[in-house]
Structure 1
Amino acid sequence: MFRRHPVLSVLTVLYLAGVGWVTLGPEPYDDGTSSILWRFLDFFGRYDATDWITFDRVEFVANIAMFVPLGMFFVLLLGRKQWWLAMILCGGISCAIEIWQGALLPTRVADVSDIVANTSGGTIGVLLGVVLMSISLARRGRRTRVRARAA
């Protein structure tokens, strides 16, 4: 797997390292990120049409978004037939993160909703990867058939 896709393997490892840096550090946000986030939430909280944009919702969506690329990377590495394994890997990594946070990081909050969000994002990434791979294979097959007819 890693020998067939060395660049994708490196990108996956780098992305995993980034996820680890974001999720396994002692503090979830630095002062700059926190300040921007709270200004954003204060702005939208002033208006009735956007007061539904809360910290919990933003965090949930961010957790989904963070795991979409991971799901895509895993399914691209493992192949379409191993889509289920890519989903399990995303869920397993999410569970491991939450266990680590709960056991070793007193300044972080381990939460089941994070597992749901992360696994949902991973699943979206896996499904997107399967669709893109299927489209690519169909196009390749069409080109092959056209070349065979022309020859």
Structure 2
Amino acid sequence: MFRRHPVLSVLTVLYLGCVGYITLGPEPYDARSSGVLWRFLDFFARHDETDWITFDRVEFVANIVMFVPLGLFFVLLVSRSRWWLAVLLCVATSVAIELWQGAFLPTRVADLGDIVANSSGGILGVCLGLIVMSLSLAMRGRGRGRVGTA
């Protein structure tokens, strides 16, 4: 798997490192990013049209978004026929993060909701990868069909 796709393998490991840095550090946010986030949330809270944008919702969506590339990378690495393995890798990664946070990071909160959000994002990424691979195969097939015709 890693020998067949060395560049994708490196990108996946680098992205996993970023996810680890974000999720396994002692503090979820540094002072600068936290300040910006709270200013945006305060702004949204002052307007009736956007007061539904809360910290919990932003965090849930951010967890989904963070795992979409992971699902995409995993399915590209393991192949279309083993898409289910990519889903399992996303879920296992999320569970491992939450277990680590619960066991070793007292300043972080291990949450089942994070597993749901992360896994959902991973599944979306796997679906996106399957769509991309299917389109790529279809385009290659169409290109081959045209070569012999004229």
Pairwise TM-score range, normalised by the shorter structure: over 0.9
Within 5 Å, give how 1:72-111 maps onto structure 2. Answer: 72-111=72-111
What is the 5 A alignment of 1:31-110? 31-110=31-110
Match of 1:15 in 2: 15
Structure 1 letter corresponding to 2:102: G
Q: In the TM superposition, what are the counterparts of 1:115-134 in structure 2 within 5 Å? A: 115-134=115-134
Encode CA deviations 1:113-138: one digit per residue, 9 max, x unaligned: 00000000000000000001000000
Higher mean C-alpha displacement, 13-22 vs 140-149: 140-149
Match of 2:138 in 1: 138
State the 4+ residue runs in structure 1 displaced beyond 3 angstroms: none
Give how far 1:147 is off.
Answer: 1.0
How high is the TM-score relative to the length of structure 2?
0.99
User: What is the CA–CA distance in structure 1 between the aligned matches of 2:79 and 2:28, rounded to whole Å?
Assistant: 33
Structure 2 spans left out of the alignment, 5+ residues: none
Residue 28 of structure 1 is matched in structure 2 by 28
TM-score (norm 1): 0.98
Instruction: Identify the residue that residue 4 of structure 1 maps to in structure 2.
Output: 4
For residues 40 and 53 of structure 1, the distance between their equivalents in structure 2, rounded to whole angstroms, comes to 9
| CA apart distance, 1:107 | 0.2
Deviation by residue 1:8-38 (Cα, 9 ceiling, x = unmatched) = 0000000000000000000000000000000
5+ residue gaps, structure 1, are none
1:82-118 CA distance string (max 9 Å, x none): 1110001000000000000000000000000000000
CA RMSD of aligned residues (A): 0.6
Distance 1:55 1:71 in 2: 25
Distance 2:148 2:141 in 1: 11
Name the count of aligned residue pairs: 150
